[in-house]
């Protein structure tokens, strides 16, 4: 009877000591993303990214991309602590802290995974919304050290509560959008996944290779039509009410352009204000150019 208490205490000590200790990522090992969200908005939900395309102009990205530094660090810490993308558990991450090239590459992979899976599996920000690829290339070539990070905040605030999921778009009413006036998006989601959450888009970049986009982009045709009908019925983007849309049905160049603008608004605001799929995940720009010159 006298040995009951020490035995219980010993079991408790063993149980507590077996819990692994998770340390936060050192923010000094996390470079600046090289860009801020919301640059040169077009008014349809897309903004300038941090990388130029084949035409020498910035590749368009959702206006919510990239995330602010604190939000990125919060998501990165969660992924590193879990050993995988929290929002895409099949994608592993590691975060070695030495400055060997393999370790720096592993960290940049963790940055890319975090960025591209911010809001769900393959639903996040395209890598071209940042300068991370150029920073990694400079490090791998030995031409530059990692970009210095801004001073870390003294006490990071708790992560914000997740935004409520947008309510399901209503079914198209009688007399809704004529699907014959809605072209095919020209691509399907999930092409050539890298394993980090990004896939090939439908447009090539300056290097002649497909621009990477979130693997959930573009949406399937029925999902796109449902969102399009909801926006047209409302006269604005349901998920971004300040952005108006129209859908004239004649074949004048002005009406065709108005419809393509509505396609772009729908695509780029699928999941919230400026949170959707980049236009380069489709061939819509090329189709519009071919129709209107």
Which mean pLDDT values do the consecutive 10-residue runs of the chain (293 residues) have?
44 41 80 94 89 88 93 96 92 91 91 91 90 90 57 49 47 65 94 90 89 92 94 91 90 90 91 88 92 82
CA distances from 135 to 62, 68, 104, 138, 214 (A): 22, 18, 11, 5, 20
Output the pLDDT for position 16: 41
User: How far, in Å, CA of 65 to CA of 219, rounded?
Assistant: 19
Strands 240-244 and 236-237: antiparallel
The DSSP result for 9-52, as a single string, is: HHHHHHHHHTSPPP----GGGS---S--S-SS--SSSEEEEEEE
pLDDT value of position 22: 52
In sequence order, what DSSP letters do the residues of 96-108 get, joined into one string? --S-SHHHHHHHH
Helices and strands in the chain, H and E counts:
7, 8
Token representation of residue 144: 């530059």
Q: Report the C-alpha gap between 71 and 132 in whole angstroms.
A: 16
Put residue 208 in one of left, alpha, beta given phi > 0 → left and psi -120 to 50 → alpha: left
The answer to whether 136 touches 101, Cβ cutoff 8 Å, is no
Other Cβ atoms closer than 10 A to 24:
13
Confirm if 14 and 7 have CB atoms less than 8 A apart.
no
**pLDDT for position 46:** 87
pTM exceeding the 0.75 threshold for the entire prediction: no
Q: Phi/psi of residue 191, each to 5°? A: -85, 125
């Amino acid at each position: 009877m006298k040995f009951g208490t020490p035995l219980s205490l010993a079991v408790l000590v063993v149980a507590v000591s077996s819990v692994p200790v998770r340390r936060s990522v050192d923010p000094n090992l996390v470079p600046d993303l090289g860009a801020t969200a919301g640059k040169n908005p077009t008014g349809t939900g897309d903004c300038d990214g941090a990388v130029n395309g084949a035409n020498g102009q910035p590749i368009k990205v959702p206006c919510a991309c990239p995330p602010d530094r604190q939000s990125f660090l919060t998501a990165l810490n969660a992924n590193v602590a879990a050993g995988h993308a929290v929002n895409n558990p099949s994608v592993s991450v590691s975060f070695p802290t030495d400055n060997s090239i393999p370790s720096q590459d592993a960290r940049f992979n963790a940055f890319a995974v975090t960025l591209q899976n911010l809001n769900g599996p393959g639903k996040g920000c395209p890598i071209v919304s940042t300068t991370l690829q150029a920073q990694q290339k400079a490090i791998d070539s030995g031409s530059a050290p990692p970009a210095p990070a801004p001073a870390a905040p003294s006490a990071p605030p708790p992560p914000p509560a997740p935004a409520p999921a947008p309510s399901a778009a209503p079914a198209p009413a009688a007399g809704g959008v004529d699907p014959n006036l809605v072209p095919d998006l020209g691509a399907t989601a999930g092409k050539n996944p890298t394993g980090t959450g990004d896939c090939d888009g439908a447009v090539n970049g300056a290097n002649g290779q497909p621009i990477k986009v979130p693997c959930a982009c573009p949406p399937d045709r029925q999902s796109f039509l449902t969102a399009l009908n909801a926006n047209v019925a409302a006269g604005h983007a349901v998920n971004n009410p300040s952005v108006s849309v129209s859908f004239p049905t004649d074949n004048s160049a002005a009406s065709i352009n108005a419809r393509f603008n509505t396609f772009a608004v729908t695509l780029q605001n699928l999941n919230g204000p400026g949170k959707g799929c980049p236009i380069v995940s489709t061939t819509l720009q090329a189709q519009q150019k071919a129709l209107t010159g």
